[in-house]
Amino acid sequence: MMSWIKKLETNTPNVWVQWVRAYILRGVNFWDFCLTAAHSWFWSNIINCRDALIQIADTIDHAKNLLCKPDYKQQIYELLRQKGSVLPMYKTVGDSLNYPKHKIIGLLAIQNKLPTLDNLSRRGLQLANKCVLCESHSECAPHLFFECFFSAVVWCTVAQWLAVPPLTSMNAISMWYKGHNRGKSLVKRQRRCLLLCSIYQIWNERNRSVFKGVKTPPASLIWKIQYLVTLRLSHIVE
């Protein structure tokens, strides 16, 4: 996604860039563009990625500067790692067993840097704040990832797989991780992959509901998490 944002920012002579400027942006500055439910899944991901980049870089100008550098992906990842040095999970998020997009979303979720509705309202965007998964509570990271009935079902199953007490907050995950999951053994790497995959899939489910109006039962999401982790592990073991 970052490479597409870089193409837009540097105005790369490219058919896709010209199409986006003509039919999506229509004269609006990319950095000020607001999503609506009518936008595609791909474009929604680009805008979410843009918001995540601004969070990482602190300012839009710094985000633009980063994108102009030849090694911008490495610099962005290093910035993520530096910002996350306070919690133990950060040190191993970069594990090659983890899916790349799970690493980015996992790091942002742990730091409460994802563009949840409460974070967007703090940035001055006036939006109705209601959790799209349960439609009965305002959306903030603790609710979305743990308190919502949907996420609670997912974490309850994950905790059963891991044979640990229910994981009810980012801090609980961090403490469990600190106590039991540091190290390079395959079992520990697989557990960490499972944690990041669960965080990512909950966030992805929220985005699918917001931008596409599609809802998945928790049981289907749990199956997907199990499948993705098993698939990743099979590639490493082969």
* Of 111, 28, 102, 31, nearest in space to 65 by CA: 31
Does 80 sit near Zn ion (CB under 5 A)?
no
Instruction: Say if residues 167 and 156 touch (Cβ distance below 8 Å).
Output: no
Give CA 17 to chain center in angstroms: 24
Cβ proximity of 83 and 59 under 8 Å: no
Which among 113, 227, 95 has a CA at the least distance from the CA of 170? Answer: 113
What number of chain residues touch Zn ion (CB under 5 A)?
5
Q: Judged by CB, which is closer to Zn ion: 76, or 202? A: 202
CB 2 within 8 A of CB 56: no
Count CB atoms within 10 A of the CB of residue 28: 11
Binding flags for Zn ion, 126-165, as an x/- string (CB under 5 A)? -----x-xx--x----------x-----------------
Give the shortest CB-108-to-Zn ion separation in angstroms: 19
CB 131, min distance to Zn ion, A:
3
Measured from the CB of residue 80, what is the shortest distance to Zn ion in angstroms? 27
Per rule CB under 5 A, is residue 195 in the interface with Zn ion?
Answer: no
CB of 64 or CB of 137, closer to Zn ion? 137
Residue type at 23 in one-letter notation: Y
Closest distance to Zn ion from the beta carbon of 132 (Å): 8
**List of residues contacting Zn ion (CB under 5 A):** 131, 133-134, 137, 148
